[in-house]
Structure 1
Amino acid sequence: MKKILIVEDEEELAHNISEILSNLDYRVAAIVDNAKSALDFLEEYEVDLVLMDILIHGDLDGIDLAYKIREKYNLPIVFSTAYSGTEYLERISSEIHEGYLLKPFTLDSLKTAVFFGLKRHMEKSGKEKKPKGSLKIMDKGYLVPVPHSEIVYLKADGLYTKVYTKAKSYIVRDILKGFEEKLPPAQFLRVHKSFLVNTAYIASFNAKKVNLGETSIPIRRGLYKELIEKLNV
């Protein structure tokens, strides 16, 4: 019987989900409402899937918790959220979850999300794993391991640096050069004195700028040829 950890800060909803999952022949290992309790539980007990709300109690939200879980455990994660806007959903990276549920959800949608969450994780585990590597970011008193593959770009802001990931952004008290020394040069490129980008996210570029999806970033003079060589265009 597959064991599921529920991370949900709405107590009544959490118990309703637990009852439904039990009727679907899953075992609910525990119900917690914050990141610390979730991590403490995972230290002691094994589960097969984490069903998690994005907005939970405590300083860490569900996205940060997903990063921390991914750093240490090979577990599938299914998010639940009441926000259905496309822009919001696109911020939830496919690299840190195997599915998501839109609230309010039905018995069938919950059943489907959990089933495919477990199935997709098995399929991922059977494939060659991507090279690991993460950037440790201190956020609200917690150390959050952000995978290199999730970082889109970094922007200098005086003595601080803004780190933009696929899921959210962070402000860190460190200069951009400090991050440039920590990140793999084969993957990250200083395209401008104020910007360091993950080349995997470059959708297009010309002699003046690179486009990272909907974000455009200026490039320094003379970088165009280097970009062509680096990206094997």
Structure 2
Amino acid sequence: MDYPVKILIVEDEMIIAANISLQLSKLGYKVTGIVSWGEEVLPHVKQNKPDIVLLDVQLKGKLDGIETARVMQNEFDIPIIYLTANADESNFNRAKTTNPFAFISKPFKKLDLQRAIELTVNRLECSLDSGSSATLANNSPFILSDCIFVRHREKMVKVAIQDILYIEAERNYCRIYSKTKEYLLVITLKGLDEKLPDKYFLRIHRSFVVNISHIDEIATSYVVIARKAIPLSKSLKEELLKRLQTI
């Protein structure tokens, strides 16, 4: 990755969390924050979009780390590295069902943390390598007239066209925002735009394609969809207005 990898730390022991944060910063990673409660994870992820989540299995509160992972995975496909001081068989088997990228047993050394993250980043880079034809073939969306099948957590899932709000470019991949979930696709926005049905979708900015049926407001330099202000390029505004008149 050609940008600092963003990591969220979910750990209720603040001394341990602060130490991890310091180590990650020294290794060149960007810490998006330290969260102590499972209930706080989803709002943080929505706002900060970390690339990796370091997640303590034994969290205080209603949600432990494994339940927190399940809640997060209902909406986001973000790699998880578990931190645990209790690696018993029961917890391990529960944690396996969330498909973590790694386990780190407490107390751990700096090298343990470094290697687990480096291996995770390496797997991410391999999966996001746009130059790999095999990767693209396995992850490219399959588009029909009324739906898109996208790869999500090792399987293809159906996303109705009418449920897609907008799509945002993130370097050499893009993120679909639907009414209920987000999906990260290994394809450029340009590549996806060329496959999408013109009846519903229009590129209004170099980084955004929108489902025009979901536009709530049009301002001078942006549109609003589901309370999200999305930039609108001057050169593309006229085309958008024309399309809206023909609906």
Which residue of 37, 48, 51 corresponds with 2:40? Answer: 37
- How has the CA–CA distance of structure 1 residues 34 and 117 changed in structure 2, closer, same or farther, with 3 Å as cutoff? same
Name the counterpart of 2:93: 90
1:163-186 C-alpha deviation (Å, 9 max, x unpaired): xxxxxxxxxxxxxxxxxxxxxxxx
Which of these residues, 18, 23, 26, is aligned with residue 23 of structure 1? 26
Residues of 2 paired with 1:116 and 1:88: CA distance? 23
Partner of 2:156: 131
Structure 2: stretches of 5+ with no match in the other structure: 129-134, 140-150, 159-247
Find 1:63's aligned residue among 48, 56, 66: 66
SS at match of 1:92: helix
The answer to whether residue 79 in structure 2 is matched with residue 76 in structure 1 is: yes
- % identity of equivalent residues: 32
SS at match of 1:84: coil
Instruction: Give TM-score, length-normalised by structure 1.
Output: 0.52
Q: Matched residues in 1 for 2:48 and 2:94: separation?
A: 30
- Do the aligned partners of 1:67 and 1:96 also contact (CA within 8 Å) in 2? no
> Per the alignment, do residues 29 and 8 of structure 1 end up closer, same or farther by CA in structure 2, a change over 3 Å counting?
same
**Contact 2:53 2:80 (8 Å CA) reproduced:** yes
> How far apart are 1:94 and its partner, in Å?
5.9
**Kept after mapping to 2: 8 A contact 1:66/1:96:** no
Secondary structure of 1:47's partner? coil
CA distance in 1, matches of 2:71, 2:124: 17
Instruction: Determine if contact 1:98/1:121 at 8 Å carries over to the other structure.
Output: no
Q: Which amino acid aligns with 1:99?
A: A
Q: Deviations over 1:152-205 (max 9, x none)?
A: xxxxxxxxxxxxxxxxxxxxxxxxxxxxxxxxxxxxxxxxxxxxxxxxxxxxxx
Amino acid across the alignment from 2:69: A
Alpha-carbon RMSD:
2.2
For residues 101 and 124 of structure 2, the distance between their equivalents in structure 1, rounded to whole angstroms, comes to 7
In the TM superposition, residue 119 of structure 1 has moved relative to its aligned partner by 2.5
Asked if 2 retains the 8 angstrom alpha-carbon contact of 1:76 and 1:118, the reply is no
What is the rounded CA distance, in whole Å, between the counterparts of 1:44 and 1:88 in structure 2? Answer: 29
Contact kept? 2:41, 2:72, Cα under 8 Å: no
Whole-angstrom distance in 1 between the partners of 2:77 and 2:52: 10
Measured against aligned partners, the alpha-carbon deviations of 1:37-90 in whole angstroms (never above 9, x if no partner) come to 111111211211100101112201111111121121121110000123345423
Aligned equivalents of 2:90, 2:82: Cα separation in 1: 16
The CA deviation string for residues 121-142 of structure 1, in whole angstroms up to 9 with x for no partner, is 4445644431349xxxxxxxxx
Preserved contact between residue 82 and residue 104 of structure 2 (Cα < 8 Å) = yes
